[in-house]
Amino acid sequence: MRVEDLVYFCAPARLVMGAGCRAQLPALLRRLGYRRGLLVTDTFFSGATPWVDELVAGGRAQGVELLVYDGGMPDPTTTLCDAATAAVRERLAGVPVDHVIALGGGSNIDLAKALCLTLPDGSAVRAFLGKIDAGTPILPLVAMPTTAGTGSEATPGAILVDPDNATKVAVMDNRLRPAVALVDPEFTYTCPPRVTADAGIDALTHAIESYLTLDSAIFDRGGEADPGYSGRNALTMLFAHESIRLCGRYLLRSVQDGGDREARIGMSYASVYAALSYGSAGLNAVHGIAYAVAGQTHLSHGTTNAVMLPYVLDALGDVRREEMLAIARLLDIAETDPDIAAARVPGVVRELVAAVGLPTTLRDCGIEQRDVDALVRDALDVARLAKAFPVPDVSARYDAMVRNAWAGTLTAEAGASVQRRRAA
């Protein structure tokens, strides 16, 4: 218990987890009173897997009709959402749906969340950027993730790309958290190694960032009575702690051997636990800088998180020493000296990033040294994440983290090496 906590914890209304649990969904849909829904997915899942047909047939057997929209795309845009809204409403011909199901990675789930807002009256999704009116009708969502990483099945927002300026925008409301999050690890068994690595590092980033983020007692909730994010507390930290442990044990294994069922199941659980943590606690500098890196490089979300995670950890050693030591033990860092063990965390995380085949410096991502200043400015412009970074000098540390990430410099690791030499 932390007596200073101001707990505001939100999670999916129902969480169903376990290998093969997707078979339970049709009966659950009927039990919840749903009779006509929209299944949002993409052509891979509709054409190359049996899962869509199985779900449609299973729903029909339970008296639940499902309309399939398989136009999902990576990094969905506001334009795609509006086109999907028009296409689905035309096919429905005035007959409403009472729920939306998402099958796929974070992109499909984000698109489905947006459609939960736009389908009832056909509004453009841009109408819901910023605060969403309490009277706005929102369809209930069932989220079925097929990757172990994004955690969208437990969060209150959808991230879309605005093609007018190539930036990411968010629609956010706690009512967008899924009514049912169904996590079947079998969906992930055929994920290719690079997707597995991207998603897995994303899960680890979510867990670590939320474990180290600003405390709930001082988090700026902006006067919201129903905040989407509200800082870390003892409950979110419990979930993050378990997620870090599972990632340490299973992330590399799942990348190296996609047929390792134990590792696949372990990472599915790690992803959900990370989402239950960051879905209420929120995130900070890793994601804030990663968004700016993606703006310059157009690399995947997992990759841009991966390259920054070690250097953000490197910058937090003086303000999160106790937690860094806990992370060290979760990652099996056996140094007996606690200061050395904590200082080794950024280097060990960077070794993991390299082992799963992701870049470890901004130079490796194609960032030029002349672009570093702009990158820092763009990252600081993501103000909601910058102000959640638990340090007294946010701008200076952002500048140092980005420069270190470009050069590949880990100051904590260098200090730990000096301490080990002195001890010897």
- Reported as a single tens digit per residue, the pLDDT across 368-382 is 999 999 999 999 999
Percent of the chain residues topping a pLDDT of 90: 93
State residue 167's pLDDT score.
Answer: 76
Chain segment 129-138, per-residue pLDDT in tens: 988 999 999 9
| pLDDT exceeds cutoff 60 at 424 | no
CB 147 within 8 A of CB 300: no
CA angle at 184 for the pair 183 and 186, rounded to the nearest 5°: 150
Per-residue confidence at 414, pLDDT binned at 50, 70, 90?
low
Q: Above 60 in pLDDT, residue 66?
A: yes
CATH of 193-423, one of 1.20.1090.10, 1.10.3720.10, 1.10.10.60, 3.30.365.10: 1.20.1090.10
Q: Are 270 and 280 in contact (CB under 8 A)?
A: no
Residue 323 identity (one-letter amino acid): E
* pTM of the predicted protein model: 0.95
Neighbours of 295 (CB within 10 A): 17
CATH code assigned to 14-188: 3.40.50.1970
| Predicted pLDDT at 423 | 56
* Contact indicator for 373, 380 with CB cutoff of 8 Å: no
The per-residue pLDDT for range 212-269, each reduced to its tens digit, is 999 999 999 999 999 999 999 999 999 999 999 999 999 999 999 999 999 999 999 9
In whole angstroms, what is the distance from residue 89 CA to residue 121 CA?
9
What is the rounded average pLDDT of the residues 144-157? Answer: 96
Residue 18 gets the label, from left (phi > 0), alpha (psi -120 to 50) or beta, of left
Count how many residues are written for the chain.
424
- Among 9, 14, 387, 5, CA closest to 226: 9
Closest C-alpha among 100, 215, 214, 201 to residue 158: 100
Structure tokens at 47: 């054409």
Give the model confidence (pLDDT) of 14-58 as tens digits: 999 999 999 999 999 999 999 999 999 999 999 999 999 999 999
Q: Are 167 and 115 a contacting pair, CB within 8 Å?
A: no
Rounded distance between C-alpha atoms, residue 29 and residue 14, angstroms: 12
Task: Map out the domains of the chain as residue ranges.
Answer: 14-188, 193-423
Tell me the CA distances in angstroms from 113 to 13, 116, 258, 274, 375, one per residue in order. 15, 5, 29, 20, 30
* Residues 188-198 pLDDT 10s: 999 999 999 99
Stretch 61-74: mean pLDDT: 98
- Average pLDDT, rounded, for the chain: 95
What pLDDT does 422 receive?
60
pLDDT tens-digit series, residues 254-296 = 999 999 999 999 999 999 999 999 999 999 999 999 999 998 9
Distance CA 356, CA 370 (A): 29
Backbone conformation region of residue 298, classed left if phi is above 0, alpha if psi is from -120 to 50, else beta = left
Rounded to whole angstroms, the Cα distance separating 385 from 285 reads 6
Q: Between 305 and 75, name the one with better pLDDT.
A: 305
pLDDT of 418 > 90? The answer is no
CA distance 243 to 50: 30
Look at residue 164 in the predicted model and tell me its pLDDT: 83
306 SS3 class: helix
Task: Judge whether residue 120 has pLDDT over 90.
Answer: yes
Question: Per-residue pLDDT tens for 379-400?
Answer: 999 999 999 999 999 999 999 9
pLDDT confidence bin for 421, thresholds 50/70/90: low
